Amino acid sequence: MTERAVRFTLTPSAAGSGGKRSYNAFLLLVAGLGGLLYGIDVGIIGGALPYLEATSGLTAAQLSVIVAAVLLGSVFSTLFAGILADWMGRKPLMVLSGATFVLSIPVIALSHGYAPLFFGRLLQGISGGLIGVVVPLYLAECLSASQRGKGTGVFQWLLTLGIVAAALVGVYYSYRVDAVARTAGAATLLSFKDQAWRRIFWVSLPPGLLFMAGSLLVTESPRWLFRRGRRELAEAALLRSRTPEQAQRELQEMEETAHATKAQRSSGKKIRESLLRRKYAIPFLLACVILFCNTATGVNSIIGYNTGILLQSGLSDLYAHWGYVLFTLVNFLLTMIGMVLVDRKGRKFLMVLGTSGIIVSQVGVGILFLTTEKLSLGARDPVQAMVSPNQELTLRFDPDEARRLLAMQGAAGNAIQGSRASLAIIYSYGDFTAATSYVRSDDPAAAPIHITRADCVPSTRVEAFFKAPLANLEAAQSAPLRIKKAVLGSVPDARQGWLVALGLYMFMAFYAVGPGVCVWLALSELMPTRIRSNGMSIALVINQLVSTTLAGIFLPFVSKYGYSSMFFLFSGFTFVYLIVVAFFLPETKGKTLEEIEAYFEARATRA
């Protein structure tokens, strides 16, 4: 009798405990899917870009905008994500972000032309920006204190896994492309490459559907419900993941906070203080500079253009995709190591270590590219002679054409071989300038270089203003095509390609273990409580704008100045980053938020 009674009383409790553990695990799964989706947002273009570049007929500037569109969309959505989360709730915004990603896939995969591609990538960026804000916010408000760190860790960990998954999809299709190249002609190969980049995007659809479905099944944030006056629903939401005692304790804390805020308002005291106050301005400006420099390391551009960089460094299409997979695995594994070390070694130590290593690796990659780029020749005059009477240019850059151009420059016997040459063209119509991507003569499926006025000259005054504010649009619409520069270079051998890949792996390792893990943690600790939401929003927008700008100028810049100049530029920004971290960033490990605020307040007082 007693044994049966004991069993009877324990079974509901055990079932309830098991149900709460299951729900907490489900919350972590949904958070992980959000991180996975964010990582796919960032990484999917890396595998698709070489095939998109080969088949779309887009210019280097247009391809750069397609890559940067994700970051641009993220800028817009980041600005309004907090407002939307407060207005419509955390759960509906998560569902909306998943639905936006799902919608973006068919828009991209079925597109023909620049405009739908841009719109689809913009939707992906909007989705990523919303996910990056609302998922961590939702986790902080829904998970218990003992689970919050795990939730953030799962989000970040699966974000890097999403980049790995996107790279693996790309390498799978590189094998398919390689198989077609061995058995089919150039026309068939070109057609398959066109299908390859579309299928790469289709494969990313299921994680979006799973995240959207998971978001529909979780409860709304209890704290959002409480602030909306729905106490009973808030209590029910808490009870799904907590014991009744824990739920009551947290509800009481919410009520005490609400009463304190109400009393403060009734007393006429200011709740918010200006960012311009000196004790807030110092940490705020420090946060903005660190976020600017963190993005100016070029990390997003190096991830987005990784396969293209490896192709130009001398690796084949297949090995370039495998190189990108290894690159993403380095990011994935070193992120885990950084998460272990951050509370042991401290934020400042890891960021100094990381930025120092980034500088060394970027300078090394720049020197490797420079050894090949210094052999480049100018072929402007013979390319200008190929311009048709209708002021357009179509040029198939194959080994025979490469040898012809080399012979015309009197360089048939130099280090550049026609069978492994590269060509990039910088051109203009009036005041508007554009550039092609590098084309390799050893790629039988490469589309011909095709230059038209529409690729360079904007169609509207608004577009013209943003592209070149002082340019004369009317004159450009009838101006002749001028070849400003035609860079004829050598494609390095595979050995140099793997050396460049090794330098990029070093870059990613140092970034992941240092700034990648520490920057958001350090900045959230730097910002005083009263300005944290506003200050971080402004700093994050600066971060996204820098990232968008760098991604947008990447291909035109390397076409004009070479990959070496781009990496030297990144290393210069990283050197500024190192100086700021080493001399101005305080170590925040083991300090309370109040102690950190007191440190900056004391500095402001001394100033």
How many CB atoms sit inside 10 A of residue 187's CB? 9
Residue 11: the pLDDT is: 40
Residue 75 has pLDDT above 60, yes or no: yes
Does 275 fall in a domain?
A: no
Q: Residue range 347-361: average pLDDT?
A: 91
Please indicate, yes or no, whether residues 178 and 251 belong to a single structural domain of this protein: no
Q: Residue range 563-590: average pLDDT?
A: 87
Q: Residue range 445-471: average pLDDT?
A: 79
Q: Please give the residue that has the higher pLDDT: either 596 or 337.
A: 337
Please indicate, yes or no, whether residues 480 and 430 belong to a single structural domain of this protein: yes
- Supply φ then ψ for residue 366, to 5 degrees: -60, -40
CA angle 508–322–544, rounded 5-degree value: 40
Residue 426 pLDDT grade (very low, low, confident, very high; cuts 50, 70, 90): confident
Please indicate, yes or no, whether residues 471 and 364 belong to a single structural domain of this protein: yes
Judge contact between 508 and 331, C-beta under 8 A: yes
Please indicate, yes or no, whether residues 76 and 106 belong to a single structural domain of this protein: yes
Residue 605 pLDDT grade (very low, low, confident, very high; cuts 50, 70, 90): low
How many CB atoms sit inside 10 A of residue 167's CB? 28
Q: Residue range 181-206: average pLDDT?
A: 87
CATH number at residue 448: 1.20.1250.20
Q: How far apart are CA 592 and CA 281, in angstroms?
A: 20
Please indicate, yes or no, whether residues 239 and 351 belong to a single structural domain of this protein: no
Number of domains in the chain: 3
Q: How far apart are CA 406 and CA 389, in angstroms?
A: 24
Does 48 fall in a domain?
A: yes
Q: Please give the residue that has the higher pLDDT: either 253 or 376.
A: 376
Q: How far apart are CA 501 and CA 323, in angstroms?
A: 7
Residue 574 has pLDDT above 90, yes or no: yes
Please indicate, yes or no, whether residues 214 and 228 belong to a single structural domain of this protein: no
* Boundary of a domain, candidates 161, 192, 218: 218
Residue 6 pLDDT grade (very low, low, confident, very high; cuts 50, 70, 90): very low
Does 479 fall in a domain?
A: yes
Residue 141 has pLDDT above 50, yes or no: yes
Residue 228 pLDDT grade (very low, low, confident, very high; cuts 50, 70, 90): confident
Does 277 fall in a domain?
A: no
DSSP codes, 320-373: HHHHHHHHHHHHHHHHHHHHHHHHHH-HHHHHHHHHHHHHHHHHHHHHHHHHHH
Does 4 fall in a domain?
A: no
Q: Report the mean per-residue pLDDT for the chain.
A: 79
Among 242-256, 400-414, 476-490, name the one with the lowest average pLDDT.
Answer: 242-256
- Report the candidate in 330, 306, 327, 322 with the shortest Cα–Cα distance to residue 174: 322
Residue 271 has pLDDT above 50, yes or no: no
Using a pLDDT cut of 90, give the percent of the chain over it.
17
Please indicate, yes or no, whether residues 252 and 303 belong to a single structural domain of this protein: no
Residue 17 pLDDT grade (very low, low, confident, very high; cuts 50, 70, 90): low
Q: Both tokens of residue 16?
A: 């309830």
Does 278 fall in a domain?
A: no
Q: Which domain holds residue 140?
A: 14-218
Residue 278: the pLDDT is: 58
Q: Residue range 289-305: average pLDDT?
A: 85
Among 135-149, 304-318, 538-552, 576-590, name the one with the lowest average pLDDT.
Answer: 135-149
User: The whole model's pTM is what?
Assistant: 0.68
Please indicate, yes or no, whether residues 466 and 571 belong to a single structural domain of this protein: yes
Please indicate, yes or no, whether residues 366 and 497 belong to a single structural domain of this protein: yes
Q: Mind listing the pLDDT tens digit for each residue in 342-353?
A: 767 777 888 899
Please indicate, yes or no, whether residues 475 and 530 belong to a single structural domain of this protein: yes
Please indicate, yes or no, whether residues 574 and 488 belong to a single structural domain of this protein: yes
Q: Mind listing the pLDDT tens digit for each residue in 524-537?
A: 566 655 555 556 66
Residue 115 has pLDDT above 60, yes or no: yes
Please indicate, yes or no, whether residues 234 and 191 belong to a single structural domain of this protein: no
Residue 64 has pLDDT above 90, yes or no: no
Does 265 fall in a domain?
A: no
Q: Mind listing the pLDDT tens digit for each residue in 324-340?
A: 888 988 988 888 888 77
Does 192 fall in a domain?
A: yes
